[in-house]
Structure 1
C-alpha cells in the first residue's frame, strides 16, 4: 500500500544529528515470511544496501528516505500497538544507528526481528532480538558477500533463510545446510524467488530429500499486488 495511505504513517523529519536513521517507510502489515508468517507486524524499513541481488524486490529502498530521530521512530512504532516489529531494508545493519534502534525496541518489550542480508557483522546486535539471516545463493550474484563467521553468533531463537531461484540454488543450499549442520542451530527457511522458481517442484525436492527445513512463500505478495509498497 502506498506510504500516504491510512495504513502507513507519514515520515517525519528530524533536525537532530544524534541517533538519526535514514528511513524509507514504517508500516503495519501482515508478516509474510519466517516462522512468524501470518502475524500482524510493524515494519521499519531502513534506507540503503551495499548488495545488489539479482532478484531484489525492494530496490526502491536503496536511495532516498527520510532522516528520523531514534525517538521519533520508536514513537511511530509504538503508536500501532503491535507487539511484533521487524527492522528491515535495504540492509538495516549498514546504518550504525540501527543498533541502538534495535536495543530501544527491545527495551520497549517488543518482539524484534532483524532481516539481514548476511553481509554485515551481527555479533553486536542486541541478543534479545531475533536474527533472520539470509545466506545468498549463487543465483543472487552476491554469494561472495556472505560473512560465514556470522554463523557462530546464530542461536536457536534465530532463523536462516535461503532465497532460491532455481535447482542450482536449491542444491547449493542443501549442501550448505548439511555441511554447517544448520538445522541443528535454528529453523531454516527455503524461500522460492517470487515469480521465478515454481512452488510445486521445490516442495517436491524438499520432500524427496527429507530436508528439515521450512518451505515458505512471501504471503504478503498473495494478499496484495506484488508491486505494492508498505505491506
Structure 2
C-alpha cells in the first residue's frame, strides 16, 4: 500500500479513499479532452487527468465531486489513456494530485512522451519533487478560502521561472491580501501571477479595476473560460 502524506489531524479523514491504494496505482476521478480554461495556456486543447481526493476544503471549491469518488487504475493505463488522445498538452489536476505518490512518475512519463505537462496544485504540499519539465500552476490560498493557513511558503523557493502562481479572489479583502503577498515576495518579478474571481462572487469589472490600479508587474487577470463556454456546473469540460 502507498504511504499517505502527512496532513493536519482534521484533514486525515479526507484521505480515506486513498487507503488501500497500491504502488503503481492512481485513484482517478476523470480523464478527458477539452480546452484549457485557465493559465497562460488558456484556449489550447488539453487532456485533463483529474485525480480524486483533496485534503483542503476551500469555501468556493467547484470540484467537490472529486473528494471521494474515483476509479483505481494502474499508472500505465492512465498514461496510455492520456496519450491516446494525441494532444500535445496534458494537465494533471484534482482534487489534489500531490496526495498520490504515483502522480510524480506519471508526469515524468508524460514529459518523456513529448507532452507539455501542467500540474494544478493547491500549494499545501511540497512541489520540490515534481519533474523540472512540468509547468507548476500553484495556488496561494487567500483568506476567504478558509485554507490560507495551509499555504506552504517554502514552495516559493522550489518553483521555477516557468511556473505560475494563482490567486482566487472572493472579496476585496482577498484582493488586498493577494496584492500585499505579491509585493512582499516580489512574485510579479519571479513568476507569472494569475488572478481570478470566484465565479459569481466578485464583479469582473471590479477585479479589473483593482488590478489596473495596483500597477504590479507580471500579474494577469484570468477568467475560467470553460465556465463561459459551457454550463458552470458541467463536468468533463
What TM-score comes out, normalization by structure 2 length? Answer: 0.90
> Which structure's residues are more often helix, by fraction?
2
| Deviation, structure 1 residue 173 | 0.3
Matched, 1:192 2:211: no
Q: Distance in 1 between matches of 2:227 and 2:162?
A: 26
2:226 aligned to which of 214, 220, 226: 220
Cross-structure match for 1:34: 39
| Deviation, structure 1 residue 18 | 3.8
1:55 aligned to which of 52, 60, 69: 60
Mark the runs of 5 or more structure 2 residues left unpaired by the alignment.
1-20
Cross-structure match for 1:143: 148
| Deviation, structure 1 residue 188 | 0.3
Question: Which structure exhibits the higher relative contact order, with contacts defined as CA atoms closer than 8 Å and separated by 6 or more residues?
Answer: 1
How does 1:64-213 map onto structure 2 within 5 Å? 64-212=69-217, 213=219
| Deviation, structure 1 residue 159 | 0.1
| Deviation, structure 1 residue 210 | 1.3
| Deviation, structure 1 residue 211 | 2.2
Cross-structure match for 2:27: 22
| Deviation, structure 1 residue 202 | 0.8
| Deviation, structure 1 residue 185 | 1.1
Q: Is the Cα–Cα contact under 8 Å of residues 26 and 51 in structure 2 kept in the other structure?
A: yes
| Deviation, structure 1 residue 17 | 3.9
Cross-structure match for 1:229: 235
Mark the runs of 5 or more structure 1 residues left unpaired by the alignment.
1-15
Runs of 4+ with deviation above 2 angstroms: none
Q: Is the Cα–Cα contact under 8 Å of residues 188 and 216 in structure 2 kept in the other structure?
A: no
| Deviation, structure 1 residue 122 | 0.5
Q: Distance in 2 between matches of 1:100 and 1:92?
A: 12
| Deviation, structure 1 residue 204 | 0.7
Aligned residue pairs total 216
